[in-house]
C-alpha cells in the first residue's frame, strides 16, 4: 500500500508507541490523525509535526468521539490505516499487601485497552470497507498488545 494515498489514524498518538508510529507514518508521507485524550499533548505535537498532522481529541471508549475523529480523517483523504496504541498499564498484583486487585482498576484497563480498542476497530472498519480498493486492499488496522499477556 502506498501510504501517501490516504490518512492514517493513530490512537494514543500523543505518547510512546503511538507517537513513534505517528512520526514514522508522517515521515513516510502519510496524513496522520493523532487520536488521544483532550488532556494529552496531542495538540502541541500535531503543530510541531506540521500541517500533515491533525489532533483529534477523543476517548477510545466513546462512540461519538471516535466517530467524530474518523469523520475528520475522511475530510482529508480516505482513511486507509488505523494503528491502535491507546492504552494504560496496571502493575497491581492479584493479591498484594493492601488486599486484592481493586475491581474498579481492572475494569478501567479492560474498558480502555479491550473495549476501547474494539470500539475504534469496528467504527474504522465500517469506513475502510467503503473505500475503493487499491490493488486488493481497502486499508489496514493494526493493533498493539503486550508480552504481559503471556505472564498472567
Ligand atoms: N511501551 C511498551 O514497551 C509497551 C509494551 C507492551 C505493551 N504496552 C502497552 O501499550 C499501550 C501503549 O503503551 P505506551 O508505552 O505507548 O504508553 P503511553 O502511556 O506512552 O501512551 C499511551 C497513550 O494512550 C493515551 N490514552 C490512554 N487512555 C486513552 C483513552 N481512553 N482514549 C484515548 N487515548 C488514551 C494516553 O493519553 C497516551 O498518550 C499501553 O496499554 C501499554 O501498557 C506498552
For residue 116, the ligand 1 atom closest to its alpha carbon is 31
Query: What CATH number should be reported for the domain holding residue 44?
Result: 3.40.50.720
Contact 119, 60 (CB under 8 A): yes
The answer to whether residue 146 scores a pLDDT higher than 80 is yes
Report whether pLDDT(61) > 90: yes
Domain of residue 7 covers 3-150
> For residue 25, which phi and psi values (nearest 5 degrees)?
-65, -40
Distance 11 CA to ligand 1 centre (A): 9
Whether the pLDDT of residue 74 is over 90: the answer is no
Per DSSP, which regions of 44-113 are E strands? 53-57, 79-84, 95-96, 99-100
From 9, 10, 17, 143, mutation site for ligand 1 pocket: most ligand atoms within 8 A of C-beta: 17
Predicted confidence (pLDDT) at residue 149 exceeds the cutoff of 80: no
Number of domains in the chain: 1
Strand 31-36 to 53-57 pairing: parallel
Q: What percent of the chain has pLDDT over 70?
A: 99
Cβ distance 109 to 92 under 8 Å? no
d(CA 149, CA 144): 12
Does ligand 1 lie within 6 Å of residue 40's CB atom? yes
Amino acid at each position: 500500500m502506498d501510504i501517501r494515498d490516504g490518512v492514517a489514524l493513530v490512537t494514543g498518538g500523543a505518547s510512546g508507541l503511538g507517537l513513534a508510529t505517528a512520526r514514522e507514518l508522517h515521515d513516510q508521507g502519510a496524513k496522520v490523525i493523532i487520536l488521544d485524550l483532550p488532556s494529552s499533548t496531542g495538540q502541541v505535537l500535531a503543530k510541531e509535526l506540521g500541517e500533515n498532522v491533525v489532533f483529534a481529541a477523543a476517548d477510545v471508549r466513546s462512540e461519538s468521539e471516535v466517530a467524530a475523529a474518523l469523520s475528520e480523517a475522511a475530510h482529508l483523504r480516505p482513511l486507509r490505516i488505523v494503528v491502535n496504541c491507546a492504552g494504560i498499564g496496571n502493575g497491581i498484583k492479584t493479591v498484594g499487601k493492601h488486599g486484592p486487585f481493586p475491581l474498579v482498576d481492572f475494569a478501567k484497563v479492560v474498558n480502555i485497552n479491550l473495549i476501547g480498542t474494539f470500539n475504534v476497530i469496528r467504527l474504522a472498519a465500517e469506513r475502510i470497507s467503503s473505500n475503493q480498493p487499491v490493488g486488493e486492499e481497502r486499508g489496514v488496522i493494526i493493533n498493539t498488545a503486550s508480552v504481559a499477556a503471556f505472564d498472567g
